Amino acid sequence: MLLGFKTKFPNTTPTNFKEKILDGTKIHTIRAGNRWKPGMKIHYAIGVRTKNCDIFKIGQCISVQPIIMRYGLRNTIIEIMNGDKHSVTFFANTNEYMDALIKNDGFDNPYYFYQWFGLHDINCHFEGQIIHFTYFRY
């Protein structure tokens, strides 16, 4: 399945997601919904739905983890599920998991991550999946 990546943040700063996927520093991506399943083929692409579409890598979805992100009055709350039995819940500003989540998703700083997912808005509630490109899990 096609998995598109943007090349720039809204402020025109380059995301470098393509380079980070190719060099192995972006080891997962977070997407809304729950359509990805382990074993699905991934066609990594930029410029999706344009004449300049570039499928730059073909790989496989190793695993998925459901994720919920909510903006709280004092903190952003992240919950990552590990199957039906266990979950990792943490406050974004007070846990080493957040630093790992931001880095592993290809963001260079928390500000861009929070902006990307709308985690600065009191009404933010994001539900989706972490699509893992490696065997790493939270």
Give pLDDT tens digits for 89-120. Answer: 777 666 778 889 999 999 998 889 988 988 87
The domain tally of the chain equals: 1
In a domain, 138, yes or no: no
3-state secondary structure 40-101: CEEEEEECCCCCCCEEEEEEECCEEEEEEEEECCCCEEEEEEECCCEEEEEEHHHCHHHHHH
- Does 59 reside within a domain? yes
Closest CA relative to residue 133, chosen from 62, 58, 65: 62
Is residue 126 situated within a structural domain? yes
Residue 48 placed within a domain: yes
For 34-53, the pLDDT digits (tens) are: 999 999 999 999 999 999 99
The answer to whether residue 71 is domain-embedded is yes
Q: Is residue 111 domain-resident? A: yes
Q: Which of 19-23, 67-71, 96-100 ranks highest by mean pLDDT?
A: 19-23
Task: Write out the residue range of the structural domain in which residue 12 sits.
Answer: 2-132
Q: Which pTM was predicted?
A: 0.91
